[in-house]
Structures are given as C-alpha cells and as structure tokens.
Amino acid sequence: MKQSLSATGIIKTFGNKTVLDNAYIRCETGEITGIFGRNGCGKSTILKVIFGTQKAESVSLSIDGKHYSPKEIIAKQKIAYLPQYPFLPKNKTVKNVIPIVLEKGSLQDKLLYLPEINKLADRKVGELSMGQLRYLELLLISHLPHPFLMLDEPFSMVEPLYKEKIKEFLLKLKKEKGIIITDHYYVDVLEVSDKNMLLKNGKIIPIDNSQELVTHGYLTSVNV
C-alpha cells in the first residue's frame, strides 16, 4: 500500500531574509521527487526542516494524513536523510561503519556481502572515492526501515561509473520507498525522477519538463 508524505506551510527566515516562504513538498512511496534551485535558495534547508535538524517558523508534516512533529518523524523512523556532506567516520573501515548505522543481524550481513561493498570491506572510509563513499552511504540508509528517503546532492562530485550505479539503485529502491532528491546535476535527477519542482524566491514551482527549468531561469538551455 502506498504511503504519502506531505510537508506544507514551510516558513524559514535567516535574519531579515525569508528563505522558505510557504514552501511545500509532497511525495509518495513508489516515486522520486526532484527539487532544483540555485545555490543558497534553500534546498538543503527545506530537507533539514522536514527532518527536524533545522527549526522553522512554521511547518506542517503529515504521513498518510496523520500529523507529526519533526521530532516524531525521527523517533518513529519515518524519514531517513542523506546529508550533503559525508557523515561516516573517515578513520574506520567499511566493515566497521556498517554496524554504526544498521542494527546487528541479517541486514548487516546482506550489505557486507554485496560484491560492491565486500571488496571495500577492509578499506578505511577516508580512502574511498566520492562515488564509492556516496554509494555506501546510500546503501546504508536505504536498508533502514524508514518509508521515505531525502537525498541531498547524491551525485555531487561522484564519478560517472558510480552515478550510474546510484541511478540504477534508486530506480529499484523507489518500488518500496518514496525518495526526494536535490542536486545541481539536473540531468542525473531528471533521468530518475517522476515529478520535479523548482525552489525560487522561497516558493515552490511545479516543473513538468526540462524546458520549464529554462523558462523559470534555472537553466539557460536544456542539454537533455
């Protein structure tokens, strides 16, 4: 059965600047939602507000029509979040960071014995390429029970081979989860997203096709 996430009426200011002005995000399991926007427009902020690590002046969160506070969203394991910057300790090996995120049991074993991860098991996190690291982080949070995932720049600085691995994995993963992605690599996002929106001047603008990203001034031309 599909689940639906709704985050509406989001208002966030920094000093005299309103970054989010009655912004919203809606997502269902079985779909990938892409969020575009220029640097500093509030893309990361809106994810942090929904996840509860950034306090907003106003936000209304609900899943399947039931309202939650940001703290409840975390406590009840509703949304998992991949931050923009790597979060795993660099001095630990891959096999030793898996238990930090996943509880002991079959999920740990399943992840560790994936061919892509097993060959990296004894390497330190700080020795991984950006693609290897982001792929590992994505695999880790995707194995959590949360029905929704928010991914902040999963393609940034990732080598082409791992971009393709990430896209392939996301298309499989959306069969069971709802996924929200924000990234400047718009071509990669458009290749996997089912619906898109642009965050501009604090407002959300629904985007039906890549040409509308040009119309609204996010792109100067379309390369897809």
CATH number at residue 169: 3.40.50.300
Strand partners, 79: 148
**Residue 161 located in a structural domain:** yes
**Residue 223 located in a structural domain:** no
Amino acid sitting at position 18: T
Q: What is the mean pLDDT of the chain?
A: 92
In this prediction, what percent of the chain has a pLDDT beyond 70?
A: 97
Token pair for 111: 């992840």
Instruction: Check if the beta carbon of residue 183 is closer than 8 Å to that of residue 189.
Output: yes
Domain that holds residue 35: 4-85+146-215
CB-based burial label for 69 (10 Å; 0-12, 13-18, 19+): exposed
Please give the sequence-ordered ranges of beta strands (E in DSSP) within the chain, or none if there are none: 4-14, 17-28, 32-36, 58-63, 66-68, 79-82, 148-152, 178-182, 195-200, 203-207
**Residue 67 located in a structural domain:** yes
**Residue 130 located in a structural domain:** no
**Residue 111 located in a structural domain:** no
**Residue 102 located in a structural domain:** no
In this prediction, what percent of the chain has a pLDDT beyond 90?
A: 75
Instruction: Check if the beta carbon of residue 59 is closer than 8 Å to that of residue 7.
Output: yes
User: In the predicted model, what is the mean pLDDT of residues 77-98?
Assistant: 92
**Residue 101 located in a structural domain:** no
For the chain, the domain total comes to 1
What is the value of pTM for the model shown? 0.93
pLDDT tens readout for residues 191-209:
999 999 999 999 999 999 8
**Residue 120 located in a structural domain:** no
